[in-house]
Amino acid sequence: MKISKSAACILAGALLSTSASAEQLWSSFSLSYLKGSDYEVGDNERQVVTIEHASGHSWGDNFLFIDRLESDNGDSSNYMELSPRLSLGNLTENGLSFGPVKDVLLAGTWESGEGFDNFLAGVGVSLDVPGFRYVNLNLYHANNEGKDNDRQLTLTWGLPFELGSSEFLYDGFIDWSTEESDHASEMNFTSQLKWNAGKLIGTKQPVYVGVEYAHWNNKFGIDGVDERNPALLLKWHF
């Protein structure tokens, strides 16, 4: 499947426009701080501040995050992703649930970093998995700036659990992309294990303390560049 960059932009714009005008069902906003010392490609010690927003609406869902990366050597950079999805079940007014599949969606993602913009378009499903807050699976065709286009499979999940009176959340994503003539296949398995310390200080929204671990093979498509990076994490929800 070949999708031009302009077509991907139109799809992403349409998805975002629809999500903005639909009835909002829920939303979440958070601010995170990460400190790690085993990054690959560039300085290995960095601090990352992340603004994150997720929302569900009557036509699907939307996810946005913006990273500000500050390296110990003085380098800095910004990176963001915007990922709206449009519910085909609601659009067609037909229930598309079957088995563990709750809904089928059109999916788009805009990735923007220092000197590049990638546009991804494809399809996704929301899955009903016992015990999980959410499980989503998206299959994209990626229109990449600066390297050959490829295909990407993305899995995201959120698993809350309790130990005694303590609340925890294990969430994250797995991105797998295909090998092309100018880059290797990538696999990025990044997850966070977080304890809700907000219960101790009486906050209504979670205040998480924990760790993020990135297990990234062939980072940025560079063959043999494998990142194994644990990072301390603080995350405030508002």
Output the tens digit of pLDDT for each of the chain's 238 residues: 344 454 445 454 554 554 455 689 999 999 999 999 999 999 999 999 999 999 999 889 999 999 999 999 999 999 999 999 999 988 887 778 899 999 999 999 999 999 999 999 999 999 999 999 999 999 999 999 999 999 999 999 999 999 999 999 999 999 999 999 999 999 999 999 999 999 898 999 999 999 999 999 999 999 999 999 999 999 999 9
Contacts of 20 (CB under 8 A, 6+ apart): none
Rg over CA atoms, the chain = 18
Using an 8 Å Cβ cutoff, are 210 and 233 in contact? yes
Identify the burial level of 26 via C-beta atoms within 10 angstroms of its C-beta, where 0-12 means exposed, 13-18 middle and 19 or more buried: exposed
Query: Maximum Cα–Cα distance for the chain, whole Å?
Result: 55
User: How many other C-beta atoms can be found within 10 angstroms of the C-beta atom of residue 195?
Assistant: 18
At 23 the pLDDT is: 85
Q: Specify the CATH class of 5-237 in words.
A: mainly beta
Residues 6+ apart with CB under 8 A from 101: 125, 126, 127, 128
Cα 125 from Cα 102, distance rounded (Å): 7
Question: Looking at residue 4, what is its pLDDT?
Answer: 45
Flag whether the pTM goes above 0.85.
Answer: yes
pLDDT of residue 3: 42
- Bridge-based pairing of strands 24-36 and 227-237 is antiparallel
